[in-house]
Amino acid sequence: MTDAYIVGVDMIKFGRFPDKTVPQIGAQAALMALDDCGLTIQDMQALYCGNLGQASGMVGQRMLQEIGQTGMPVVNVANACATGATAFREAWASVKAGLYDCVLAVGVEQMGKGLLGGAGAKVGIPKEGLLGSGTMPAVFAEAGMEHARKYGTTFEQFAKVSVKNHHHSTLNPKAMYQIETPLDEVMGAEMISYPNTKLMCSVNVDGSAAAVICSEKKAKELGLMSRAIKVRASVLASDPWQERDLVMPDVNSCTRKAAAEAYEMAGVGPDDINLIELHDCFATAEILHYENLGICKDGEAGRLIDEGEVALGGRIPVNVSGGLLSKGHPLGATGIANIYEVSTHLRGEAGSRQVEGAKMGLTHVIGLGSACAIHVLEKAS
Amino acid sequence: MSDKPLAAVPYLKIPEGADPYLEGHKCGNCGATFLGERDVCSKCGARDQMSAVTLPNTGKLYSYSIVYRSFPGIEVPYISAIVDLDDGTAIKGNLINIEPDPENIAFDMPVEVVYDDALGRKDADGNAYLSYFFQPTASA
């Protein structure tokens, strides 16, 4: 099978765009990714379009109605917060399979403000606040408290994740916010669902990101190898059975399964990875994934954040983009935005937040329900 | 409209003339227990091995969150709790009759299942509902 390369990739600055349609927001990133590699929509053989909020709304086709109706096949993808990464993976798979040699993947989302999850009942009575909470801040708080019961992880350690990622975002002009949030401010912010305060919850924003993927032969023909990013591994996992599945959506076992498969596919280990963009939908979640992705041993995640190993300049910087916590989390776009961030570092184009000498990076997203997508990316040699 | 309260969830059973209880479904092949009826085990894939079991009314607190922000009309703060019942079945609900403060809440603290009105919530037809809650086990 051919190797597949990202030749063009970009994202819009995340924000709130109530006056635009979802296809219009997606079209912006699509055009930017095409411009990044100097190709046109006519060069694309297929489109894989990820969006959650209008999953039945043919967003991909409507986007092409904005930027070029070539008649190419369009696959619309929905997979919770793994939507964008799943669209990217389908695009990658089509190139790997030899079906196409130049395709476009787009992730886009337009979001309201406020709590996600825990929706009202269609029959009977609403269960929110009666049988616990199904809101996302509470669900991820419960997952964090499971780590606390095992390893004594503290509220302060969870909060430090948010301090770090907000700091990183001050260096990223495409992040929703560029604001420092000191520890006392994070811990003193409105408590949403203990131990997650408001500043420990990801930001609901509108956004889009896109990538152009080519076969090795095509990338070379087009003369696009100098800035190309090799996809060393692309893995998608669902949640293997766990004893508390029915009451505690599982973000750990599917991440561990996907990570093991991704490292095997890439032929590398966690020590070979120079930076990670992982799914910090809540500060509690990031702590779990240090261990799930194998960058430290089980029980060491608290030490990692305490000692700054996961900060820019540390041993293995995590979420230097600002993460979902401050860059923002437009659900369907997040997976490709993470791929944009890692690619930008591998190209040495990340400016003041550049992870020096980055050669290989990993992206991770989790959609509750559950879906985990991991990509291992490397600068083309 | 029913003259008796309805069950808030299908796995809460309200037998005539007896105490309400929680019902699980246990796989005869691998032993996994589920809330709610099913025909196939999602752990081992066995078919037609499921049988109804009465779940115990005691367990231990596994994990929790104290919820301060919820949807309009829902009283906060409250404790959203994951409880491991004594037979190993995991179940989620509100932990009540304890101050919602992390200082007061200990992992593995013994809890019991209690049954009460569903916080006054009624459906569109005006039916009242019976629900279940967890509370710290009264010391002997």
Nearest of A1, A377, A4 to residue A219 by alpha carbon: A4
- Please tell me whether residues B47 and B74 are part of one structural domain: no
- B1 contact A CB<8A: no
In this prediction, residue A250 carries a pLDDT of: 86
Buried-state track A183-220, b at ≥16 Cβ within 10 A, e below 16? eebbbebebbbbbbbebbbbbbbbbbbbbbbbbbebbe
Of B62, B74, B122, the CB nearest to A128: B74
Label residue A381 by pLDDT band (50, 70, 90).
confident
- Please tell me whether residues B21 and B40 are part of one structural domain: yes
CB atoms B65 and A129 under 8 Å: no
- Please tell me whether residues B83 and B66 are part of one structural domain: yes
Domain span at B27: 1-55
- pLDDT above 80: residue B140: no
Round to whole Å and give the CA distance between A324 and A316: 18
Label residue A71 by pLDDT band (50, 70, 90).
very high
Mean pLDDT, range A67-82, rounded to an integer: 98
CB–CB contacts below 8 A, A to B: 130
Identify from B67, B87, B98, B134 which residue to disrupt to test chain A contact, counting A C-beta atoms within 10 A and taking the largest count: B67
Mean pLDDT, range A6-31, rounded to an integer: 98
In this prediction, residue A118 carries a pLDDT of: 66
Known active-site residue A214: no
DSSP state of B11: T
Residues of chain B found within 8 Å of residue A148, distances taken between Cβ atoms:
107
- Please tell me whether residues B20 and B34 are part of one structural domain: yes
Label residue B79 by pLDDT band (50, 70, 90).
very high
* Higher-scoring residue by pLDDT: B65, A245: B65
Domain-embedded: residue B77: yes
Active-site residue among A37, A49, A81, A281? A81
- B30 contact A CB<8A: no
- Please tell me whether residues B46 and B70 are part of one structural domain: no
In this prediction, residue A122 carries a pLDDT of: 65
In this prediction, residue A48 carries a pLDDT of: 98
ipTM of the complex, rounded to two decimals:
0.94
- B118 contact A CB<8A: yes
Known active-site residue A329: yes
- B5 contact A CB<8A: no
Number of H helices, E strands in chain B: 0, 10
Min CA distance, B18 vs chain A (Å)?
23
Cβ pair A144, A154 in contact under 8 A = no
Label residue A196 by pLDDT band (50, 70, 90).
very high
Label residue A116 by pLDDT band (50, 70, 90).
confident
Mean pLDDT, range A112-126, rounded to an integer: 75
Domain-embedded: residue B129: no
Domain-embedded: residue B35: yes
- pLDDT above 90: residue A173: yes
Domain-embedded: residue B126: no
Mean pLDDT, range A244-273, rounded to an integer: 95
Between the CA of residue A224 and those of A6, A220, A359, A366, what are the distances in Å? 9, 6, 18, 31
* Higher-scoring residue by pLDDT: A119, A221: A221
- Please tell me whether residues B97 and B49 are part of one structural domain: no
What would the two tokens of residue A34 be?
């095409």
- Please tell me whether residues B30 and B66 are part of one structural domain: no
Min CA distance, B111 vs chain A (Å)?
15
- B105 contact A CB<8A: no
Quote the pTM value.
Answer: 0.96
Label residue A199 by pLDDT band (50, 70, 90).
very high
- B113 contact A CB<8A: no
Q: Report pLDDT digits (tens) over B4-34.
A: 999 999 999 999 999 999 999 999 999 999 9
Residues of chain B found within 8 Å of residue A115, distances taken between Cβ atoms:
69-71
Three-state DSSP class for A306?
A: helix
In this prediction, residue A120 carries a pLDDT of: 60
Domain-embedded: residue B34: yes
Active-site residue among A167, A329, A345, A375? A329
Round to whole Å and give the CA distance between B86 and B22: 13
- Give chain A's domains with CATH numbers: 4-113+203-379 (3.40.47.10)
User: Residue A233: CB partners within 8 Å, gap ≥ 6?
Assistant: A261, A262, A263, A265, A266, A374, A375, A376
Round to whole Å and give the CA distance between A372 and A255: 6
The residue type of A168 is H
In this prediction, residue A137 carries a pLDDT of: 97
Residues of chain A found within 8 Å of residue B121, distances taken between Cβ atoms:
125-126, 130
Residue of A nearest to B102 (CA): A194
Describe chain B by its helix, strand, coil percentages, rounded to 5.
0, 50, 50
In this prediction, residue A55 carries a pLDDT of: 95
Label residue A119 by pLDDT band (50, 70, 90).
low
User: Residue B3: CB partners within 8 Å, gap ≥ 6?
Assistant: none
Strands A207-215 and A4-11: antiparallel
Per DSSP, what are the bridge partners of residue A5? A214, A230
CB atoms B93 and A132 under 8 Å: yes
Domain-embedded: residue B136: no
Min CA distance, A16 vs chain B (Å)?
22
Nearest of A334, A336, A270 to residue A304 by alpha carbon: A270
Mean pLDDT, range A296-303, rounded to an integer: 98
Between the CA of residue A167 and those of A25, A87, A199, A322, what are the distances in Å? 27, 30, 12, 7
Contacts 24+ apart (CB under 8 A), A116-121: A116/A204, A117/A368, A118/B70, A118/B71, A120/B71
Round to whole Å and give the CA distance between B102 and A359: 43
In this prediction, residue A362 carries a pLDDT of: 98
Total domains, chain B: 2
Q: Report pLDDT digits (tens) over A125-144.
A: 999 999 999 999 999 999 99
Q: Which residue has the tokens 């000692």?
A: A307
Domain-embedded: residue B24: yes
Residue A301: CB atoms within 10 A of its CB come to 25
Domain-embedded: residue B63: yes
Average pLDDT of chain B?
95
Q: Report pLDDT digits (tens) over B90-120.
A: 999 999 999 999 999 999 999 999 999 999 9
In this prediction, residue A305 carries a pLDDT of: 98
In this prediction, residue B139 carries a pLDDT of: 67
What would the two tokens of residue B92 be?
């989620």
- B62 contact A CB<8A: yes
Q: Report pLDDT digits (tens) over A337-372.
A: 999 999 999 999 999 999 999 999 999 999 999 999
Label residue A313 by pLDDT band (50, 70, 90).
very high
